[in-house]
């Protein structure tokens, strides 16, 4: 059970000896992260979070999930950014939810919310509203609207069962709303930033209610913490990945495309884009994170990857053992001449498409690497989350930025508040 890192298609671009040459800088980044002496050190509580999560707390959340499911047909998870993407990426990757989970507060499209409210109006609904600051516009307004619908359906007492708030322990409007109305609430630790919060109640509460195997998710992250927290450039693949992308960016490869031939990784890649975009891109620096889902995007962006401007590198996420098997049937007429793969698993064909693409892109001048998850399960997803968190902290420090803030996100808010007349 593990994640395997393949660097075959970096030959001629980045070798282990290039990584070794910057080992003292990687060691400094590692020490700064470990000792909290790097910029944003006060918000690096995620780094040993998996090993600090109490098993009793996981059991408590599993029970909460059973309870909420016993009187709910569906759950609405309200949040944006780090209070949204980790939840959705886990649910959609695992496809193992026990009740439908809907999302609100991640956009302000009126038609989207209208259709969501219509689709749940005759259902028994519970809500998890998540905001670390407790003050973000999009989820705050969505919560108002959803709460109004719930108030028309349920008594005040019933609302106390159906509304769960995940927010700061003391500050913010959402904390105030929870305490004033007696809604159940969970605290997001001060020292864990939004996009690093999937293993706090931000992710664990809605995932437990959806019925996702949060115990395995946390166990996988614990394995990630064990494997990727050591300064060991020969074996720590998170540090190898961080160093490789940093060195590639220094060679003019300013765009990283993470691609997968498994469509259930779509939202994992959205989560990854937030983690890397918000963490690295500041002070005029950063690598632009983009994502592709193959084969769909091979027939659109595949052209750009093969022959476009050579400022791109690529990271594939492969899955060794998908959860299901479909054999390609034999066709007596064989007009499409695909009896060559009759009797083979569809995943065999998909894997050849991945191998062919990685090799063609490499030959076309796109250095690429592959992370292979042995299985598409909660354990490996937890390990992958931790892998990416560790790696972005190191690559952010290598780039010379504070990977744990996001000052640029405030610019649109200031202008929006001015337009709305908000003080
Ligand atoms: O990474 C971050 O901190 C941000 O992307 C936040 O997660 C996002 O802005 C949502 O913030 P909040 O949970 O305070 O509503």
For residue 333, what are the contacts with CB-CB under 8 A and spacing of at least 6? none
How far is 122 from 98, CA to CA, in rounded Å?
19
Do 34 and 79 lie in one domain? The reply is no
Do 255 and 357 lie in one domain? The reply is yes
Do 279 and 367 lie in one domain? The reply is yes
Domain that holds residue 69: 46-212
Do 263 and 306 lie in one domain? The reply is yes
Q: What is the pLDDT of residue 53?
A: 97
Q: Would you say 83 and 131 are in contact if contact means Cβ atoms under 8 Å apart?
A: yes
pLDDT-derived band at 423 (thresholds 50, 70, 90) equals confident
Beta strands in 111-244 (DSSP E): 125-131, 163-167, 184-187
413 within some domain: no
Q: What is the pLDDT of residue 96?
A: 82
Question: What's the rounded mean pLDDT across residues 294-314?
Answer: 97
Q: What is the pLDDT of residue 265?
A: 98
Cα 23 to averaged position of ligand 1 atoms, centre (Å): 33
Give the three-state DSSP class for 319.
strand
Torsion of CA 322, 323, 324, 328, to 10 degrees: 0
% pLDDT > 70, the chain:
100
pLDDT digit string (tens) for 63-116?
Answer: 999 999 999 999 999 999 999 999 999 999 999 889 999 999 999 999 999 999
Cα 170 to averaged position of ligand 1 atoms, centre (Å): 17
297 within some domain: yes
337: left (phi over 0), alpha (psi -120 to 50) or beta: left
Q: Is the CB of 132 under 6 A from ligand 1?
A: yes
Q: Is the CB of 40 under 6 A from ligand 1?
A: no
Which residues is 6 bridged to in the sheet?
370
Q: Is the CB of 139 under 6 A from ligand 1?
A: yes
Q: What CATH number is given to the structural domain containing 58?
A: 3.40.50.10490
Cα 414 to averaged position of ligand 1 atoms, centre (Å): 16
How far is 366 from 300, CA to CA, in rounded Å?
17
Residue 309: count other Cβ atoms within 10 Å of its Cβ.
10
How far is 125 from 77, CA to CA, in rounded Å?
11
Exposure string (b/e) for 248-263, b if CB count within 10 Å is 16 or more?
bbeeebbbbbbbbbbe
Question: What's the rounded mean pLDDT across residues 397-409?
Answer: 96
What distances in angstroms separate CA 215 from CA 128, 198, 290, 382, one per listed residue? Answer: 20, 13, 30, 10
pLDDT digit string (tens) for 156-191?
Answer: 999 999 999 999 999 999 999 999 999 999 999 999
Closest CA to 378 of 40, 58, 5, 103: 58
Mutate to test the pocket of ligand 1, among 43, 77, 82, 171 (most ligand atoms within 8 A of CB): 82
414 within some domain: no
Q: What is the pLDDT of residue 391?
A: 98
404 within some domain: no
* Model confidence at 1: pLDDT above 80: no
Do 137 and 198 lie in one domain? The reply is yes
416 within some domain: no
Which active-site residues does the annotation give? 278, 299, 413
How far is 365 from 312, CA to CA, in rounded Å?
9
Do 317 and 349 lie in one domain? The reply is yes
96 within some domain: yes
Do 243 and 138 lie in one domain? The reply is no
% pLDDT > 90, the chain:
98
pLDDT digit string (tens) for 233-245?
Answer: 999 999 999 999 9
pLDDT digit string (tens) for 306-357?
Answer: 999 999 999 999 999 999 999 999 999 999 999 999 999 999 999 999 999 9
Do 225 and 195 lie in one domain? The reply is no
Do 33 and 51 lie in one domain? The reply is no
Average pLDDT value for the chain: 97
126 within some domain: yes
Q: What is the pLDDT of residue 253?
A: 98
Which residues is 313 bridged to in the sheet?
256
pLDDT digit string (tens) for 186-219?
Answer: 999 999 999 999 999 999 999 999 999 999 999 9
Do 113 and 253 lie in one domain? The reply is no
Specify the pTM.
Answer: 0.97
Total domains, the chain: 2
Q: What is the pLDDT of residue 258?
A: 98
- For 374, list phi and psi in degrees, rounded to 5: -60, -35
Do 272 and 390 lie in one domain? The reply is yes
Q: Is the CB of 279 under 6 A from ligand 1?
A: no
Mutate to test the pocket of ligand 1, among 40, 108, 132, 139 (most ligand atoms within 8 A of CB): 132
Closest CA to 372 of 315, 323, 331, 288: 315
How far is 184 from 204, CA to CA, in rounded Å?
15
Cα 196 to averaged position of ligand 1 atoms, centre (Å): 10
Q: Would you say 32 and 400 are in contact if contact means Cβ atoms under 8 Å apart?
A: no
């Amino acid at each position: 059970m593990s994640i395997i890192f393949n660097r075959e298609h970096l030959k001629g671009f980045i070798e282990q000896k290039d990584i070794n040459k910057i080992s003292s800088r990687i060691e400094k980044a590692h020490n700064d992260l470990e000792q909290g002496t790097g910029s944003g050190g006060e918000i690096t509580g995620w780094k040993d979070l998996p090993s600090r999560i109490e098993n009793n707390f996981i059991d408590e959340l599993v029970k909460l999930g059973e309870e909420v499911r016993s009187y709910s047909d569906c759950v609405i998870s309200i949040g944006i950014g780090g209070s949204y993407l980790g939840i959705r990426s886990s649910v959609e990757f695992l496809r193992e939810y026990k009740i439908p989970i809907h999302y609100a507060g991640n956009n302000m499209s009126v038609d989207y919310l209208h259709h969501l409210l219509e689709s749940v109006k005759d259902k028994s609904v519970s809500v998890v509203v998540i905001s670390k600051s407790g003050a973000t516009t999009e989820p705050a307004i969505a919560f108002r609207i959803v709460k109004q619908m719930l108030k028309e359906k349920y008594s005040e007492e019933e609302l106390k069962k159906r509304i769960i708030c995940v927010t700061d322990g003391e500050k913010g409007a959402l904390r105030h709303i929870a305490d004033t109305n007696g809604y159940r609430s969970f605290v997001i630790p001060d020292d864990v930033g939004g996009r690093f919060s999937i293993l706090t109640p931000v992710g664990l509460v809605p995932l437990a209610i959806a019925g996702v195997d949060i115990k395995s998710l946390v166990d996988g992250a614990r394995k990630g913490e064990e494997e990727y927290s050591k300064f060991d450039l020969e074996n720590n693949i998170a540090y190898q990945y961080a160093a490789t992308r940093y060195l590639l960016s220094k060679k003019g490869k300013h765009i990283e495309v993470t691609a997968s031939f498994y469509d259930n990784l779509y939202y994992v890649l959205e989560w990854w884009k937030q983690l890397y975009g918000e963490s690295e891109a500041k002070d005029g620096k950063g690598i632009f994170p983009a994502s592709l889902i193959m084969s769909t995007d091979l027939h659109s962006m595949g052209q750009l990857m093969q022959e476009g401007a050579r400022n791109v590198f690529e990271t594939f996420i492969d899955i060794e053992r998908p959860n299901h098997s479909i054999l390609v049937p034999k066709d007596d007429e064989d007009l499409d001449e695909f009896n060559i793969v009759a009797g083979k698993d569809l995943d065999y064909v998909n894997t050849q498409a991945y191998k062919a693409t990685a090799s063609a892109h490499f030959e076309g001048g796109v250095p690429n690497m592959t992370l292979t998850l042995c299985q598409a399960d909660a354990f490996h997803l937890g390990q992958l989350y931790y892998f990416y968190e560790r790696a972005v902290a190191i690559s952010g420090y290598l780039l010379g930025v504070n990977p744990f803030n996001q000052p640029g996100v405030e610019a649109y808010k200031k202008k929006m508040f001015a337009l709305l007349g908000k003080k």
